[in-house]
Structure 1
Amino acid sequence: MYLDSFFHRLRIAVLWAAAGFLFHGCVEKWEPKPLTVTQLIAGKEQKKWKFSSIEVIDEGTVEGPISAGEIYLPCERDNEYIFKNNEEKTFEFTSGSVKCTNTEPEVLLEHNWSYTTVNSTLEFPLPLALFGGVYILPCNVKKLTETEMVLEIYFSKVFVEEIDASYRITLRSDTSQ
């Protein structure tokens, strides 16, 4: 009787061990995957960014940061830079909710954007009020998180080689988009 009880308990222990071994192999280990650069810039489908501040770096001297409120009119402060994560990498510059005129269109500018991993360069049409136009400029990505993107434009590389100046632009995003 004692021997039967022993073998019965041994059989149950072996079954539990085998079941544990089998089910242990079926459990999927979840490891979070970091967002790609494209997802940080454009989200899964699209991401909206707003101009926050700018710093001017001229011959090593930093001026700023100068906030959007100091540069733009109230109707321009809520303008949005929308990067879309589609095959075409569409970019839109929109007028936001506060319009400067009654006839101002929702989309002020539409184009494409691109990102080059090799030198961390983001290219998109950047409306520069200081130069009175829209320029597609190579911006070096200095910082990129889900809520903040810091871009630097080196004018010696873009406009005139004698200029030793750059702009450091900070854009902010609400990640609930």
Structure 2
Amino acid sequence: MRQFIRLLFIPAVIGWLLGGCSEKIEPKPATYSQLLTGTDKKSWRMVSLQVIDNGTPSGVIPISQSGVNPCITDDLCTFYADAEHKFEASEGATKCSSADPDVYVTDTWTLVNANATLEFYLPILNGKYPWTIKNLTATVLTIQYYFPDIDASYQFTFNSTTTK
């Protein structure tokens, strides 16, 4: 009888100990806000724009060929992953004036996941607008603004430049 208990009990205990200690690790996909901000902050630089008028797109225009002043086209938009959703617009490599501060706008950003709306200040338009997110990955952000009174929209694409 003891031999039977040993043969049955010992393998069952060992199996329980070894089997009960394993934990299945599942990767957690990044959320929209984490793709936008990284774990601390992430900076984005505009690379292209597109004007869509009456459903007809202009074609993708590289920001360097858009005719916009180069001191604005290389500016950075930095989104912070803090509770206040801090946002900064800062000068890129080319300053409009040597007296300009590096960070010239400090504001907040708002993200609504339900309709993929991101509201933030955009240097090239000098204002804060509600943007529809068309694409958001770890390295690319494409947003679109739909004008409320006409059948037209602006679409901008950004590439991430720094992440912390």
Question: Into which bin does the TM-score normalised by the smaller protein fall?
Answer: 0.7 to 0.9
2:120 to 119, 124, 139: 124
What is residue 166 of structure 1 aligned with on the other side?
153
What is residue 104 of structure 2 aligned with on the other side?
108
Larger relative contact order (Cα-Cα within 8 Å, sequence gap ≥ 6): 2
Q: Which runs of 5+ in 1 are unaligned?
A: 1-6
Distance 1:126 1:77, change over 3 A: closer
Cα distance in 1 for residues equivalent to 2:105 and 2:7: 72
Cα distance in 2 for residues equivalent to 1:104 and 1:175: 22
Over residues 67-114 of structure 1, what are the superposed CA-to-partner deviations in whole Å (9 max), with x where a residue is unaligned?
121134544443211000111100001112343332221102110000
What is residue 4 of structure 1 aligned with on the other side?
none
What secondary structure is seen at the aligned counterpart in 1 of 2:114?
A: coil
The one-letter amino acid of 2:118's match is L
The one-letter amino acid of 1:93's match is A
Q: How many residues align?
A: 162
Equivalences for residues 78-89 of structure 1 within 5 A: 78-89=74-85
Identity %: 38
Q: Which structure would you say has the larger Rg? A: 1
* 8 Å contact from structure 1 (residues 147, 175) kept in 2: no
Over residues 35-77 of structure 1, what are the superposed CA-to-partner deviations in whole Å (9 max), with x where a residue is unaligned?
0111011111111111010111000111121112113454444
**RMSD of Structure 2 on Structure 1 (CA):** 2.3
Cα distance in 1 for residues equivalent to 2:94 and 2:50: 25
Offset at residue 175 of structure 1 (A): 6.5
TM-score (norm 2): 0.87
Q: Which runs of 5+ in 2 are unaligned?
A: none
